[in-house]
Every structure is written in structure tokens, then in C-alpha cells.
Amino acid sequence: MALISAPPSVSLSKIIPYIKGKSSRKRLQEFEHLRKRYWGQYLWARGYFAVTVGNVNAEDVQKYLANYVDI
């Protein structure tokens, strides 16, 4: 789970594929067993879940995620 911040002018549908692509590339370079297993396939699932928060500061959201979200 990640907490990201982006300006309203940037679409979430543009941000998520970018993050998935960069993190996938990094993981496949770092872990050879993943590279062999996922050769020619996608590392991440196609979908994603996102939720927005308003009128709450980032520190409070981070505390909530750290204490109450079990991943």
C-alpha cells in the first residue's frame, strides 16, 4: 500500500501505470527468480484500488495506514 500525492491536473489513470511499470522493471532487474517466472507476462495485476482523502493532512493518513490497515 502506498500513499501518493498528485496535483488534480494529473490523472490517476496516468500515474498508476507509470508506478507499476517502474516498480516492475526494478523488481525484475533485482530478483532473477522473478524475471524467469514472469518472462513475457505482467508482474502486477491489471487493476488497482484508489481512494482519495480531503481536508486531512498527509501525516494523519500515514498514521492511519500504519496502525489500522492490515496488508
Is 18 designated active site? no
**Active-site residue, selected from the candidate residues 18, 42, 48, 64:** 64
Helix and strand counts by DSSP (H, E) for the chain: 3, 0
- 47 DSSP assignment: -
Which stretches of 10-57 are DSSP H helices? 12-30, 32-37
Residues noted as catalytic: 64
